Chain A
Amino acid sequence: MAALIETENLCRYFYQSDDIVVKAVDDISIHIEPGEFTAIIGPSGSGKTTLLHLIGGLDTPTSGEVSLSGHRISGMSAGQLSDFRRDHIGFVFQAYNLIPVLSAEENIEYIMLLQGVDAATRKARVAETLRQVDLSDYASRRPAKLSGGQQQRVAVARAMASHPDIILADEPTANLDSKTGIALLDVMKELNETLGMTFVFSTHDEKIMKRASRLIHIEDGRVHKDERKSS
């Protein structure tokens, strides 16, 4: 099977002074297949988030290459990267994912508005994704009227609505209590299993690790261990 994500000798260095270079990502080459439920794990400061940002086209590598769905994104301009992220990647961040002045359904609709999707399709997809995350009854609520878990589910629904190739989630359960975190993971796992949606997490949450089909261990910016679980 062709890899969905390929990184080749990927490096991201931060130059703090002439003498101090922080190698956040150091020569990482990984392949992620479609439909995988992958967790990038490691201690704080190991380079998980930086790797996720590089894969998601939010950051530019110092050297090496990143390809997603056959597109080499490491050479794209800022404008091209914006369009690529909009059309191919869904994001779920740790918290404050949503635009506070828009309701749940408007938050989901917003990404499709960026894509230029017509109003009827937008409306249909909003209803569908809200149903998938079991929040149909909360469509008109603004984020402040939703719990942390519900907000993260809306963020997942928004990521789904753009029909991305992959959803990148940066510590999505970090700000949730254990029970809410498990509920969110169950929603994402179900989307992965039923729709074949590919998820890549950066996390040090044991709950995600348990559910992940693949664990990529990062330490000091390098892949320490890459293990696939048998289903």
Chain B
Amino acid sequence: MLTLKLAIRNLLRNTRRTILTVMLIGFSLTALILADALTLGMLDILVNSVTKNVVGEAQIHKPGFRQNLDVDLYLSETEKIRDSLDQDPTIAAYSERVISGGMMSSSYNVATGLMYGINADAEGQVTQLPDAIVEGTYLTGTQGEILIGNELADLLEITLGDRLVITLSEANSGELAQALFRVSGIFHFGIEGVDTGLVFANLRQARSVIGLSDQQSHEFALRFTDPSLATMPGTQVYRQLNTDNIETLNWLELNKPIASIIEMSGLSSVIIGSILFILAGLGVINSMFMSIYERLYEFGVVKALGARPARLAALILLEALLIALISCLAGMTLGYLLGSYAAENGVPMGEFQVSGIAIDNRVLLRLELYQFIQYPLFVICLTVVAALYPARFAARIIPTEALQRSL
């Protein structure tokens, strides 16, 4: 108890230094919490952009289809797949699609792109396509209607009601086929490849143009009841629908650049944390050494009285532990207050793109419990570890030399 009292009073001896040290460590912790929350917020935007838009949380294809979107590599066992998905309690919704690359021609211009044939209702339950409509209306199932990305519409110089001719090759025969559509809606996702290269038509008409039957599709896009199920390898759909003829992949496997970014974001938190805490650790070492040098004579007296080296080392480590605890309390409080505000109001980041996905000018921070458990524990451990060197120095003070210092 007296040792604890001694440690507390030693910290209060030079309150300015103690406060500065606490601020250094506390602000580092706050910065780490906020940096991590910001990273999570940006990842949320990326993940939402991917999973809530065209890709979905997982997709089912014929093996090899994704590599070059070969129109001949279609799924024939769609009945079996539908049955399996209907009975799977982890699947909230799915959207069946046909896809073909083709030439899009307007009266003014020509561009290449992908035509998606979709079931309007099912697609609306898997992706946010209905919400992305910025002009016109969503698909109603009427023959000839088509949705086009706003940038592609600009390129083709067409708008609502204008004609769009799509030329593509039929499945199986390879013959060229043409279909006339009228633009019924213009969408904007903020994803470069989507807004500049996709059109969405009704599934029945698209199948007819491509030459597929009602039981043939290129893709199923899935949405799970819990988004975290998508990236769990043991989830039922991955076990049941991964055969020689069917390939089921989650959104991370479908978006390698995004997966890399997510992996790197974890690494960046480690790098940011390491730099912050190396600086904070050096601050602790400096502060503790200043404190020891001020008390050198005193340590000499205490050692002369018979204090064992371990007791002096323990005193220094206890002082460091107290500093760490106070710093964590301050850092967590500040981190929570600032983080909560930014989680509610967002952080203005300007507009920029990550892997072709436009990040809006506000990123909502995401605070998680682990940030207030793991990071403070790191801080406490690192502060105490940083204090080991000064503690060792204090423990090795030679009484006769220390007693000569200030007299």
Contact = CB atoms under 8 A, between A and B. Distances in A.
A82 B6 contact: no
B82 interface: no
Given A94-B407, A96-B301, A82 B2 contact: no
A58 B2 contact: no
B304 A56 contact: yes
Given A94-B407, A97-B301, A106 B5 contact: yes
B298 A96 contact: yes
B406 A96 contact: yes
A111 interface: yes
Interface string B295-336: 001100111111111010000000000000000000000000
A226 interface: no
Contact of A99 (B302, B309, B311, B400): B302
B298 A114 contact: no
A102 to B, nearest CB: 7
Size category of the B interface is 20 to 34
B308 A91 contact: no
B9 interface: yes
B66 interface: no
Contact of B304 (A87, A91, A101): A91
A162 B6 CA distance: 19
Interface string B7-22: 0011011000000000
A56 B406 CA distance: 20
A114 B305 contact: yes
Contacts of B283: none
Interface in A75-121: 78-79, 82-87, 89, 91, 93-97, 99-102, 106, 109-111, 113-115
A56 B305 CA distance: 10
Contacts of A79: 308-309
A85 B308 contact: no
B6 A93 contact: no
A83 B306 CA distance: 6
Contacts of B302: 99, 110
Interface in B93-125: none
B54 interface: no
A27 interface: no
A59 interface: yes
Contact of B9 (A89, A102, A110, A111): A102
B403 interface: yes
A106 B2 contact: yes
Contacts of B399: 58
Contact of A110 (B2, B12, B308, B400): B2
Contacts of A85: 304-306
Given A82-B307, A102-B6, A106-B5, A58 B400 contact: yes
Contacts of A86: 305-307
Contacts of B3: 113
B82 to A, nearest CB: 77
A82 B308 CA distance: 6
A113 B9 CA distance: 17
A111 B12 CA distance: 22
Given A58-B304, A58-B400, A100 B298 contact: yes
A23 interface: no
Interface string A186-213: 0000000000000000000000000000
A53 B6 contact: no
Contacts of B308: 79, 82-83
Nearest to B7: A101
Contacts of B298: 96, 99-100
5 contacts: A59-B400, A91-B305, A93-B301, A101-B6, A102-B5
Please provide the 8 A-B residue pairs with the shortest distance between their CB atoms, ordered closest to farther: A86-B306, A101-B9, A85-B306, A82-B308, A58-B399, A59-B400, A58-B400, A82-B306
Interface of B: 2-3, 5-6, 9-10, 12-13, 297-298, 301-309, 311, 399-400, 403, 406-407
Given A93-B304, A101-B9, 13 more contacts: A53-B400, A58-B399, A79-B308, A82-B303, A83-B308, A95-B407, A96-B301, A100-B298, A101-B13, A106-B2, A110-B6, A110-B302, A113-B2
